[in-house]
Amino acid sequence: MLVELKNGTYIEPDALTVKKYLEHWLTTYGAPNLAPSTLESYKLIINRHLIPALGHILLQKLQPMQIQSFLKIG
């Protein structure tokens, strides 16, 4: 958390939506650790499917039933 504060990438948990979390994850963890083709595949899945369906939900309020409903539809 201290590194994120220093770098300006820290996001207050109260305001963290699924969209913000996924975008943060892609930048902070995905890009440095994944092969370019894998990263592009993840970006495609996240931007086309996950963010439109779940991106508006606060991460701390995301419920298993919401994920299950998404998986049934998708």
Residue 57 per-residue DSSP state: S
Phi, psi of 58 (to 5 degrees): -65, 135
User: Domains (ranges, CATH) in the chain?
Assistant: 12-73 (1.10.150.130)
Residue pLDDT, tens place only, 31-53: 999 999 999 999 999 999 999 99
Least confident of 12-16, 40-44, 62-66: 12-16
Contact 26, 47 (CB under 8 A): no
pTM for the predicted model, two decimal places: 0.77
pLDDT bin (cut points 50, 70, 90) of residue 74 is low
Mean pLDDT over the full length of the chain: 89
Return d(Cα 74, Cα 57) in angstroms, integer.
17
Return d(Cα 37, Cα 65) in angstroms, integer.
31
Return d(Cα 52, Cα 72) in angstroms, integer.
15
